[in-house]
Structure 1
Amino acid sequence: MGLLELFILAVGLSMDAFAVSICKGLALPKINLKSAGIVGLWFGAFQALMPLIGYLLGVNFRSYIVSIDHWIAFILLALIGANMIKEALSDDD
């Protein structure tokens, strides 16, 4: 993985963590340094742990799925797209 890919991954992860931390901050009844530190530690730990788990799983299962990886990506994207179309056409708010 090159420097550009690492930078794009870091920006994506930081935007995700920023959005969730904004929502968490709005949901707290009282904000103090201790609760902010605890939330920050949780977010930091999970943001570091998730790519590591993905990497380790990818390396270990590479030989099993390399021949069908494009189909897995196609099916996942098709399911996400179908769900988006279904939600757009539904009358529920």
Structure 2
Amino acid sequence: MQMTSFWAVLAAVVVLAVSLVIDGLSVSMSIGARMHGALRVADYAKSAAWFTGMHVAMLSAGFLLGDTLSAFVEGVGPWISFTLLALVGGAMVRSALKKSSEDEQLNSMPPLTWKSLAALSFACSIDAIAVGSSLGLSGSLPFGLTVSVVAVATVLAIVLGLRMGSAAGEKWEKPAEIAGGVVLLFIGIKSLL
């Protein structure tokens, strides 16, 4: 591989990685807004691990299983993504509108459980199967480099999103939580379009 073509491939992989992690960034901002003041280092690590693991697994599955998974994702995937994101986003908005004090919000807030992280990371990673499938079939980008760059981009996006969301949540509290829930709802609707 020539040096020029390496940089062109790397640029294409970076653009692809950024496009795949945008939903994760938005979702992690919503999580940060909801958990403002209560996020610990372990929450950052757990969230980054779930989202990164799911993105890598889905992208790899797409690369390896090709057309079979792509056909499934195109038919059912958007509905699964919409349902999961709408449920979580709706719950966030409902929770923000119901609570009257910050202490009550933090005390009643469910922790970042494996169930919620699994659902959110899965919903954000469904498109990675289709992308991986098309890349696997075309052979246009190398598997190892693509998966590695997507993994690094996902970790950075999740940590940045949690931090930005937490800062917004501390400053704007209830409106930030409502906005976070609405963002999740819009991401769910976008998956159907």
TM-score by length of 1: 0.52
Where do 1:1-93 residues align within 5 Å?
Answer: 1=40, 3=42, 6-7=45-46, 9=47, 10-25=49-64, 26=66, 27=134, 28=136, 29-30=138-139, 35-79=142-186, 83=189
- CA deviation after TM superposition for structure 1 residue 78, in Å: 4.9
Query: For 1:24-78, what per-residue CA distance to the aligned partner results, in whole angstroms no more than 9, with x for missing partners?
Result: 45332449xx922211221122122111221332344344321313322443455
Contact 1:17 1:43 in 2 (8 A): yes
Radius of gyration: which is bigger? 1
Q: Percent identity?
A: 12
| Structure with higher RCO (Cα < 8 A, 6+ apart) | 2
* Contiguous gaps of at least 5 residues in structure 2: 1-39, 67-133
Q: Distance in 1 between matches of 2:152 and 2:185?
A: 31
Q: Distance in 2 between matches of 1:35 and 1:50?
A: 22
Q: Distance in 1 between matches of 2:170 and 2:50?
A: 30
Aligned to 1:91: none
Contact 2:169 2:176 in 1 (8 A): no
Q: What is the total number of aligned residue pairs between the two structures?
A: 81
